Structure 1
Amino acid sequence: MEEITANINWLAVGIGAAIAYLLGWLWYSPVLFLDRWLDGIGKKKEEAAAPPAIAMMIQAGGTFLLAWLVGITAASNSLFTCLLVVAMVMALMASGGLYAQKKVTAILIEIGYVAVMAAIMIAAQALL
């Protein structure tokens, strides 16, 4: 258990997770990608009135876990391992999106969010 808790910069984990999670509100808003993402998943704006609470809770948990992983790999000076994990997650998300027959635009928006989340979390580790 010590290898996943020792020398972790918990402040950077928390701040990175919070900023990345909050970015989702902007990312999937009309300001950035909402309309193109909805088109890419075959939904209309009226169908996307409010995100499901359970999905938001799972997203918050997953965002924290990614920030923790970044913290672990930063503490052990192995951030390239984290980048490999992020690339794997993005590849699996892309294949899942293709199986679900989403448009490429929607897939790129979704995996782009993961890439930006990871970048924010790595920056938090570097700056805090």
Structure 2
Amino acid sequence: MAELFDGVSWAGVVSGAIAAFLLGWLWYSPKLFGAKWAEGVGVRMGAADEMPKAAMGVQVLGLFLVSWLVGVTAVSEALATIILAVVAFSVMGYAGGMFRNNGRYARRVDAGYWLASVVVMVICQGIF
């Protein structure tokens, strides 16, 4: 269990999770890929009466866990492991989008977000 905590840059983990969340906010906004992504997944942007708080909370938790994983792999000098893991899970997410009949553009936007998020998390680990 110690390998999950020893030497981990918690500033890097927290800042990586926050930066990835903010990246997602921009990534899925109408300013970047949001409008066309929404068409591809069959949702209408701005249709919700309120922010999906539960979904956002789970997203923050997931980003924290991935950022923590980046931190653990950075300490053990195994960043290639996280790169492999994220590519693998991005491919699995892409396949899930295919099963849900999401449009190709939407699947690429989702996979691209995960790849970009991990790049941001690795940069945060390097800074902190």
The TM-score range, normalised by the shorter chain, is: over 0.9
Q: Offset at 1:51?
A: 4.2
Q: Deviations over 1:88-123 (max 9, x none)?
A: 110110010000000010011111111010000001
Higher mean C-alpha displacement, 111-120 vs 19-28: 19-28
Distance, in Å, in 2 between the alignment partners of 1:90 and 1:104 is 14
Q: Offset at 1:44?
A: 2.6
Provide the secondary structure at the position in 1 that maps to 2:31: coil
The equivalences for 1:91-106 within 5 A come to 91-106=91-106
The equivalences for 1:43-122 within 5 A come to 43-48=43-48, 50-122=50-122
Partner of 1:3 in structure 2? 3
Q: Deviations over 1:22-68 (max 9, x none)?
A: 11111111111111111111223353564421111110000000100
Provide the secondary structure at the position in 2 that maps to 1:45: coil
Higher mean C-alpha displacement, 26-35 vs 100-109: 26-35
Partner of 1:26 in structure 2? 26
Structure 1 stretches of at least 4 aligned residues deviating more than 4 Å after TM superposition: 48-51
Task: Report whether the alignment pairs 1:39 with 2:39.
Answer: yes
* CA RMSD, 1 decimal: 1.3
- Residues 40 and 49 of structure 1: is their aligned pair in 2 closer, same or farther, counting only changes over 3 Å? farther
Q: Normalising by the residue count of structure 1, what TM-score does the alignment of the two structures yield? A: 0.94
Unaligned runs of 5+ in 2: none
Partner of 2:13 in structure 1? 13
Unaligned runs of 5+ in 1: none
Q: Normalising by the residue count of structure 2, what TM-score does the alignment of the two structures yield? A: 0.94
